[in-house]
Structure 1
């Protein structure tokens, strides 16, 4: 049985993101559209984790997480809890971000819907922080030109895992299409 992918989009993003769409197209081209999951993650961290856990709990076979930005942060917590592999694309390393960074009114890039992110939500994120990872379960993909997150924090936090560090780019991970074959290979597809 082929594996499945659970794609976790970033903060203020959605399944309509271009990376999520590229993975969906690749899975469809392989005849595996029914093994690709990309839910709308609620902006509240506990609710986002619950959404992902419902999908993880329904999987009979192998599942690999793919997380972008905040989705990479969630994927790390889920990978450690459920003994899963994960591909992390410019992931958030919470310890390197000022606690109030996300607090306030936020707007989803794709839907235009606004939501309030509170200090309580920041506390929920802090409760999901994984101080030590199991390196062999991860593939880290970062671009040095990420304007939102310091890629060096991810490189240090995920030391020992397979890392693809590309010069330039930005937070959207501009060379994602070029690395999609490596992502799918890591996922066992």
Structure 2
């Protein structure tokens, strides 16, 4: 299975969180890739880029997204080949064309969000998780989730092992 990482608006394809989570996925025998969205500020254009990558795959995949990357991954996850969706502080309900009150991927979905997030309110993840019955983990951290990275990585490992 392939794990595809989707970074946030202000970060890059191999930021701190992605590097740590990618090592975990590789240790479990999974292929990893991370799309470079730098220079593409519109989340819906990023969705188009991800969908092109997805259509070229011949195996099932897992999408991982942080912040705007969570927006992108969730919109693109509405396909039978997506087996899992792992989101960190996803940028839900903050603009863009996606209607997160209607988008409901059928794959297993887990969300990690910080109580102290001042970029994307934790209530946005709670709203989405409640409607879709997604697993929501709220941690004592801010938007970047760096202080809880070890905890997030443990959740990610368990998530991958259960797929």
Q: TM-score, normalised by structure 2?
A: 0.82
Count of aligned pairs: 154
Q: What residue is the counterpart of 1:88 in the other structure?
A: 87
After superposition, residues 142-161 of structure 1 pair within 5 angstroms as 142-159=113-130, 160-161=133-134
Unpaired runs of at least 5, structure 1: 100-124
CA contact (8 A) 1:136 1:161 kept: no
| Greater Rg by CA | 1
| CA positional deviation for 1:155 | 0.6
- Inter-partner Cα distance in structure 2 for 1:52 and 1:135: 18
After superposition, residues 79-158 of structure 1 pair within 5 angstroms as 79-80=77-78, 82-83=79-80, 84=82, 85-94=84-93, 97=94, 125-126=96-97, 128-132=98-102, 133-134=104-105, 137-158=108-129
- What SS does the aligned partner of 2:35 have? coil
Q: TM-score, normalised by structure 1?
A: 0.72
- Inter-partner Cα distance in structure 2 for 1:46 and 1:134: 17
After superposition, residues 161-180 of structure 1 pair within 5 angstroms as 161-166=134-139, 168-173=140-145, 174-180=147-153
| CA positional deviation for 1:31 | 4.8
Poorly superposed stretches of 4+, deviation over 4 Å:
none
Unpaired runs of at least 5, structure 2: none
Q: Identify which of 60, 65, 68 aligns with 2:66.
A: 68
